[in-house]
Amino acid sequence: MIRITDGVVQTNGLKLHVAEAGQGPLVLLLHGWPESSYSWRHQLPALAAAGYHAVAPDIRGYGQSDKPNAVEAYRMSALLDDVTGLMDAFGERSAVLVGHDWGAAMAWTFAALRPERARAVVGLSVPHLGRAPMPPTQLFKTIFDGQWFYVLYFQEPGVAEAELEADVPKTLRAIFTGDALDPMSAVNRTKRLDDGLLTGIDVPESLPTWLTEGDFSHYCREIAASGFRGGLNRYRNMDRDWEELPALATAKVVQPALFIVGERDPGRSIAPIDQMTQLVPNLKEVCVVPGAGHWLQQECPAEVNAALLTFLQALSK
């Protein structure tokens, strides 16, 4: 049985907790919100068994990693420095980057702006969209035209934290099993702008089949210890990133790339895949997993692992 080990990497002025398994070419697994390295529990042993050194960090602000207080500490450029530091710590010049949700945005951006350090890239759930034509919060206000949208709700420091941390198990049930993050759901389309993420949400009593009680308890303990602030601060840097990274307007992801998305992922309604054609010229495949939602690598680990390994094995041919 392949063992997943825990460690700490000191880089970029921070201590980052990592879960790792296996030996071989480095594959970095970058999680999204509101998850942690634990979201890759099904991929780490599969990659290790196939001959890869699989490493999943807790991104700064999450899990057991350090959690800077300043909002600007979660700007994209700082996260990219963390990724570079992880590679350096493991003695690798480059790695394959696999990212889900915000981790996908990190992976795509890293590959575009630091191409010499990224061997290949796999994005889950969030496609590469380059640089928006205007600051993202302005764009969202234009798109949603007075409608409540969770990204805009997250912008004011302290507001979402107070709501989400009041009852962590309820919050996570709503996020993992309900319509809380679906901008097109009936409840979110009828919210007032001053409503919260959980306002009007019907929180299911039971967990989805892909999330055991043990898994859920693990996430609850992590969030109870870390809070939501670090992860929410990522959303509060979207306009700052737009100002600081103008090269994304023209930079392309030239490495071999794979995109995997759930058929029922609500993000598909606001993040069109077609835009990737020009931005990711070496996109090998778009894999749509039937029946899957947003929490892809946890919902359908067999399908995700198969797609990952097929892609990775092709890199060495």
Q: What is the mean pLDDT of residues 197-221?
A: 95
Query: How do residues 33-44 score in pLDDT, each as one tens digit?
Result: 999 999 999 999
Q: What is the mean pLDDT of residues 265-269?
A: 89
CATH number at residue 303: 3.40.50.1820
Domain count, the chain: 1
Which pLDDT belongs to residue 179?
83
Are 296 and 267 contacting, i.e. CB atoms less than 8 angstroms apart?
no
- Give the pLDDT band (50/70/90) at residue 4: very high
Q: What is the mean pLDDT of residues 251-262?
A: 97
Cis amide prior to 34 (ω within 30 degrees):
yes
Query: How do residues 115-133 score in pLDDT, each as one tens digit?
Result: 999 999 999 999 999 999 9
Tell me the C-alpha distance between 191 and 193, whole Å. Answer: 6
Strand partners, 234: none
% of the chain beyond a pLDDT of 70: 100
- Give the pLDDT band (50/70/90) at residue 274: confident
pLDDT at 102 exceeding the cut of 80: yes
Which pLDDT belongs to residue 178?
75
Query: How do residues 138-193 score in pLDDT, each as one tens digit?
Result: 999 999 999 999 999 999 999 999 999 999 999 999 999 878 999 989 999 999 99
- Give the pLDDT band (50/70/90) at residue 264: very high
Active site residue 294: yes
Query: How do residues 49-86 score in pLDDT, each as one tens digit?
Result: 999 999 999 999 999 999 999 999 999 999 999 999 99
Query: How do residues 227-242 score in pLDDT, each as one tens digit?
Result: 999 999 999 999 999 9
pLDDT at 317 exceeding the cut of 80: no
B/e letters for 37-59, b = 16+ CB within 10 Å, e = fewer, are: bbbbbbbbbbbbebebbbbbbbb
Q: Is the pTM of this model over 0.85?
A: yes
Report the largest interatomic distance among the alpha carbons of the chain, rounded to a whole angstrom. Answer: 54
Tell me the C-alpha distance between 119 and 133, whole Å. Answer: 28
pLDDT at 208 exceeding the cut of 90: yes
Are 73 and 1 contacting, i.e. CB atoms less than 8 angstroms apart?
no
Tell me the C-alpha distance between 288 and 261, whole Å. Answer: 5
Tell me the C-alpha distance between 11 and 28, whole Å. Answer: 15
Which pLDDT belongs to residue 269?
82
pLDDT at 271 exceeding the cut of 90: no
Among the listed residues 17, 53, 128, 294, the single catalytic one is 294
Among the listed residues 66, 82, 101, 241, the single catalytic one is 101
Tell me the C-alpha distance between 172 and 121, whole Å. Answer: 29
Could you tell me the residue range of the domain that residue 204 belongs to? 5-315
